[in-house]
Each structure stands twice: as C-alpha cells, then as structure tokens.
Structure 1
Amino acid sequence: MDYYAIVHNDFDGTASAAVYARAIGSLPTKIWFTEPTRVHELLSKLELRGVTRIMIADLGLNESTLQTLLQSLKRLKEEGATIQWFDHHVWKDEWETKLREVGVEVHHDVSTCGAGVVHKVMNPNDEVSAKLASADCSVDIWLHDDPLGEKLRRVVENERSYEWKKRILETFFAGVLWNDEFQKILEAKINEELKGYQRIWKYVKVTELDGVKIVVAIRWKGPPDISYASQYLMTRTGADIFVSANGKAISFRSNRIDIRRFAVSLGGGGHPLAAGAALKIPLFYRFLRWLGVRGPVIEWVSKVVVQVIKKEGIVTYQRSKTTST
C-alpha cells in the first residue's frame, strides 16, 4: 500500500513509523522526519502525486500554526487523501475537534508514547511492535521500565541523518530490534558517555526549595545527553528535578514531580516528566560563558528556575491510566 509518513525526528517518531509500517505491511512511499513547529510548512507544500494515505505520528499541535495546518489538511482531504494522526502530547480539546471537522482520523492518547498509540490502534497483537513500543515508551515518557529502551535510543539517535533514520526504520520493519551493529554502536556510545560524566560537574549547581533538591546545569559539549545526564545527576545528588539550559532553551526532567507546569509557565510544554521551553540567556551572560566563566550563567538560570517553581508550586505527578481517543 502506498502512503506517506510524517513523524517526529526522534526515536519515538522512528518507532511510530515502524509500528505503522508493520501494521500496513509495507514501508512508506516517502517519509519525513520533522518537528512539531514545522509540520504545518511541510503539509502546505505536500503534493499527493497518486498517494492517497497519509500517516502523521508523534507530532503535537501548536496554537500559532494551527490555522495554517488546518487549511493544508482540508486541501489534502479535498484532493482525496485519507489522513490519520497519532499523538500522545497534551492537546487542547478543541484542537482534536477541529482536526476531525476537516476529516482527519485522530488517535490521541496521553497515557503512552507515539509508538504506543500506533500500536494500540493499528496492530495490538504484533509482538515485535509491542516490544518496540515498550522500549520506546520507557525512554520517551520517562517510565524507565524497559532496558531495551535505553539501548535503542542511543542507537537510533546515534546519527541525525535522514539516511540513518530510514535505515533504522527498515530494520525495525523487518522485525530486527537488535543486531551486532547496534551492539557496537552502544558500546562506543557508553564509552563516550563515561568520559563525559567526569566533566559535567563543572556545569552544575544543586539548589533546594521547600525540601526539594534541584539540579541546574548549563549545557556542555559532547555526551552524555541531557536525558542520561539528568538521571545520573539526580541519582548522585538525591535531587527530584533536573534543569538544563543551552542559551536558547530550557529543559526540565523529573522522576516524580510534574515539571510540565514549569515549562508551560515559560511558554513551552511537553510531558509531565520531560518538558521544555524557549529561554534566551542574556547576551552578557552568554559572553561570559563563551569566555569560560560559567558561574554567573548558572546563577542566572537558577534564579529563573526557582522563580518559576515558586510561582507554580511543586506537585507530585500521578500517572494516569485513562486514554483519550
């Protein structure tokens, strides 16, 4: 069956595409790996060229681009397309309604990851898809309950190129979730990360608010990435919240605190245990950081973090078992 796939440019997006492909029984005619902030641009330029099925997965909606998105979806529907949208990010209720009004088949479930949504809807009895979705959800929504997820995420995101993501998709589609090549990549990544853990302490400050420890970090070069660093630093310091700023954006992580509220307060969003927002560090502090003076930058970010946490309050996240479709 010919179809187009449009998915997020990460492990969850790639896994979603693979689960869908196994359900359909064929790889997509063409696939795009993109970001939620750019999907409206992609759809506005998309031409069907004889393909009448489109799947979109692991891509949340954006209020500022919604109208443009709806116009493009309506055009594609009028041209004969069948459009399925699978997502697990937090939406406003009216967004789902508006997509359905233009004829999109919406599958929205905040209790799982993108691949989990596709798996539930398209092929719940496929064992390979079940294993892939389990591994993916473990790292994407911070369940940390499937060791394969930590391994596969390192492999999938080892390269950002289109060719690599497409090759990974083909491998998963064939029912292979681990092989010798993946093992070599994992070993190399782990060795790089172990070296990186020794130097990240220079970029970190631990603070405390209302009895809750918070690790605040400014971004460093090289591995480990923030997901692995956050777990390492929270474990070593006994912190419940990890925050990382890179000059343009801020990321929040936790194993038990609803940190999405902090990201939303700063104009962003995400998942309850993994979220982020735009945050531009003032030029003066970025200049100091460029000179190698890290202290003032860490202090500035720490003040922003403490202010937003004081404003929103600390709320323990209660994992929901309900779904919305």
Structure 2
Amino acid sequence: MDDDLIDDDLIPLSRRSKLPGKGFFYPDSLDEERAEQRAKETIEGAETVVIADGDADGLACAAMIREYYGAELDVAAFEAAIEDRVPETGPGDVPEAETVEEVAAEAAEAAEALESEGDEAEDGDDGDDAEDPTEDAHTRSSVALVSAGPYSLDDAFERVLAYGEPDLDLYVCDLCPDEYAWIGDELEALAEQAAAIRWFDHHQWDDAAAAAVREAGVDLVVGESDEECTADVTLRSLEYDFDEQWAELAAVTRDHDLWLKEDPRSDDLADYAHWSGAEEYVTVVGAYGADLPDSVGDFLAHRRVEKENRIEAAVGRATFQAVGDWSVAVTYGRCSQNEVAERLRKQGADAAVIVKPAGSASIRGSEDFQRAHEVAGKVNGGGHPQAAGCKPDIYDDMLDYAQHWTTEGQATRKVILSAFEEVAEEAAAEAEAEEAEAAEAEAAEAEAEDTE
C-alpha cells in the first residue's frame, strides 16, 4: 500500500477524520508478533507485573504501584524527549481560516502525523506503541507494565504465564471481564504460579464473575463506579504512606473518569495519557502528579489543534433521533468522543453515540439517560451507566469496512439505534410495572383504612 494513502499530513480533515488511524491497516498477525515480543521483553526478569488499562486511570494505578515498590524510572530522559516532539512552530502560529478544513490544512504544516483519538486500541493507535521516549524504557523497571483492554485481558494473562518469574506479585488495574469463563483458565494458572494477585477496579461487576475471581485466590477490590475511579481504589488499598500529590492525582483522575468536569487538569491528564506512551505517562505523573510540567503543556497545546478540528467535524455530522423519551445524537468520525458527547448534550441530546471508523462505537449518557451500559450490552459491549463502548459483530471482510467508511457507519448506527429501541421498550415496561405496583399498594392502603 502507498503510504501516502494513509498519511494524515496529506489527507484533508474532511476525509482523514472518516478513516481509521494508520495502525488499523497493519495486519493483526504482524501486530501480534510485535506485541508478543514486547511483552516478553517487558515481563522477563520483573519481580512484579501490573496489567492495566492504558487510560489515565489505569496508568495512574501503575504509577502508584511503582511508587509503592520504589521502582519508578528517571523522568529526565522522558522530559527531553517530550521537548523534542514539539516543533518550533506551535499552534499559536497557525493562521486563522474560515472553515474547519482550512484550519486543519494550516495546522498540518506544523503538526506531526496524528494517531486516532479514542478510548479503545481498535483504531490501531495504541498510545504505548506510538511514542516511547526511550527504546528500552519498558524493560527498565522491576515493576513491569503491560497495557491491556477489557477484551485483551486473557492475552495479557497468557503472556504473564509464559514469561513471568515464579512467585511474582501480579496486579490487575481498571479492567473488568464481561464474564469469568474466558479468563478463568489463565487466571487460575496464574494463581498457582504467582506469590499474590491483587485486582483493583471500579467498573460494574457481574456478581458471579466477581465471586469466581475471588474463589481463584485473587484479592479483588471493586469501588463504587459512580463515586470512585480505580486510582482511588488503588490508593486506599495499598498499605503505604503516599504523599499528598498522589491523593490529588487520584482526585483529578476521578474528575475525568467519572466525567465530573470540575478540575481543568483532568482533561490534560486524559489527553496526555492518550497521546503519550504508557511508560512516559506513568513516569511523568509519578514525578509531578496532576500538575504536569511545562514541556507537557506545550506538547498538549500542539496536539489540541488537530483535536479541536476533529471535534468540530464530528459535531457537524451529528443527527438527532427521538427514541422513547430520549433524544439520541449519532455521529461518526475519528475524534475525542467525550468532548463530542458533551457538545451534543449541550445541543439537547440525552445520549450520544460516536461511531468510529474502526467499527467500534462510544455511547455517552447524561443525567436523563443512565442506561449506556445496557445499550452497549446488546451490541457486543459494556461499561458504565453514562459511558460505555461496543463493537457490533457485523464486519466480515474489508468490503464491509469500505461500506462503513463511505456511508459514515450507517450499518453500525442502525444496529445501535435498534439497541436503544429495545432498551426504551424495557424502560417503558419497567415504568409501567412500577406504576401498577404503586397503584396496587395505594389501593391496599385505602382498603386497609376503610376496614379500620
């Protein structure tokens, strides 16, 4: 394939935001080989292994665990690498333009090629792979870090089994399996091999899955998903006298992870976790906490030029549809789904669906819609009441993806909107049952009064 066909610097925003990132076009077989080799290098010889989600919450937990073991890396080399990534021409030098496409074209002259924005690695833009400041950073700490997603947890367990030392300490952070069956064999084998396994999370667990994990010998601590992030859970679960900066890091991470939006630093953490490598993020927040250094601030400002353009493009593509009592906004594109959802909420959406070029979708709710996880659960996904993700199983070959890109995800939109319809019907049935129950209770009370 001609590299120019997937080079973000050469493709206008109106087109590149409709396509997946470069990594999508890299065959899974080759990606698997690279991931296996990297895991081997990372895990071999480590005394402790942390398997964590690659977002700000999961990586904050990894930073805490390295602090707990005294296994943090030197931040100086990472800071130098950050400064080298920001060109002399910054976002402030980009001329004003009348359209989103013109702004993006000007920004591209000063910007690096950008990877996908999103909460899943399916777009082919794994932050850990994108920008490692030192080639062997993943091998240096005695506390190895393995980034994983909820659907790659079994692979991560298998790699720890294959390359981990006997009697190592294993931590799993910010990850929740949909069901125990698909991780059970690996986890039980690890429980026999490891000295201890501790699992910290804040997602909504199935009771049976949680019980099975605990029965396997794992110390599982699950926080309240609407009150804590996993960094909170990790902070209170480790018996260690953490400095105040760690409590502040957990609080700011929670601000973004629970979508509270009360601390502007939380967006910085979320963006930085997405745009940097995992080793870099863990090292920098371990050294600075939630108050990121100026070099990171410059880097974020540089990257946000393109981010803002993609948000505007996605919001402009949105359509609104009434489903039951809810207004559902649906859009398509490679963009920052949380910010897009927030803007669509301000336009009156109770729920927002952001369909991604790689085939997955993010579902975001609001105070008036707290069933995002129910919708996602009907289309091969899951998550929280106000934040969930899914990837409908409707892509059989590249022709299906070609149709997906050229129609801006019409098939995916249809499947997810059908799931909304199902949830709306269930909600209506629940409301009707509650009304009937209330009426019966009222009638019983009135009858009791008459009898008296």
Give TM-score, length-normalised by structure 2. 0.61
Aligned residue number for residue 319 of structure 1: none
Relative contact order, higher structure (CA 8 A, sep 6+): 2
Using the alignment, how far apart are the partners of 1:201 and 1:89 within structure 2?
28
Aligned residue number for residue 36 of structure 2: none
User: C-alpha deviations, 1:234-286, integer Å up to 9, x for none?
Assistant: 21x12121112236333210231212222223342101110122225678986
Change (3 A) 1:296 1:43: closer
How far apart are residue 157 of structure 1 and its match?
0.6
> Which of 211, 227, 231 is matched with 2:338 structurally?
227
How far apart are residue 230 of structure 1 and its match?
0.9
SS at 2:151's partner residue?
A: coil
Using the alignment, how far apart are the partners of 1:299 and 1:169 within structure 2?
36
**Greater Cα shift, 300-309 or 91-100:** 300-309
Using the alignment, how far apart are the partners of 1:298 and 1:33 within structure 2?
28
Contact between 1:286 and 1:297, CA under 8 Å: does it hold in 2?
A: no
> Which of 43, 49, 54 is matched with 2:157 structurally?
43
Q: How does 1:135-146 map to 2 (within 5 A)?
A: 135-146=252-263
How far apart are residue 71 of structure 1 and its match?
2.9
Give TM-score, length-normalised by structure 1. 0.82
Using the alignment, how far apart are the partners of 1:42 and 1:251 within structure 2?
24
Aligned residue number for residue 206 of structure 2: 92
Aligned residue number for residue 351 of structure 2: 241
Change (3 A) 1:119 1:206: same
Aligned residue number for residue 8 of structure 1: 53
Using the alignment, how far apart are the partners of 1:306 and 1:272 within structure 2?
13
SS at 2:275's partner residue?
A: coil
How far apart are residue 49 of structure 1 and its match?
2.2
Q: How does 1:224-303 map to 2 (within 5 A)?
A: 224-235=335-346, 237-246=347-356, 248-256=359-367, 257-258=369-370, 259-280=372-393, 287=402, 290-291=405-406, 293-294=407-408, 300=414, 303=417
Q: How does 1:81-230 map to 2 (within 5 A)?
A: 81-111=195-225, 112-122=228-238, 123=240, 126-159=243-276, 164-177=277-290, 178-218=292-332, 220-221=333-334, 224-230=335-341
SS at 1:21's partner residue?
A: helix
Using the alignment, how far apart are the partners of 2:395 and 2:210 within structure 1?
37
> Which of 37, 41, 55 is matched with 2:171 structurally?
55
Aligned residue number for residue 320 of structure 1: none
User: C-alpha deviations, 1:132-166, integer Å up to 9, x for none?
Assistant: 1112222223222322111111111114xxxx210
**Greater Cα shift, 186-195 or 305-314:** 305-314
Contact between 2:315 and 2:343, CA under 8 Å: does it hold in 1?
A: no
Contact between 2:379 and 2:393, CA under 8 Å: does it hold in 1?
A: no
Change (3 A) 1:40 1:290: closer
SS at 2:220's partner residue?
A: strand
How far apart are residue 297 of structure 1 and its match?
5.6
Aligned residue number for residue 21 of structure 1: 66
Using the alignment, how far apart are the partners of 1:289 and 1:32 within structure 2?
32
How far apart are residue 184 of structure 1 and its match?
0.9
Using the alignment, how far apart are the partners of 1:16 and 1:288 within structure 2?
40
Q: Quick one: which amino acid aligns to residue 382 of structure 2? A: G
Contact between 1:154 and 1:189, CA under 8 Å: does it hold in 2?
A: no
- Whichever structure has more strand as a proportion of its residues is 1
Q: Which has the larger radius of gyration?
A: 2
User: C-alpha deviations, 1:44-68, integer Å up to 9, x for none?
Assistant: 23233255211111111132xx345
Using the alignment, how far apart are the partners of 2:352 and 2:178 within structure 1?
25
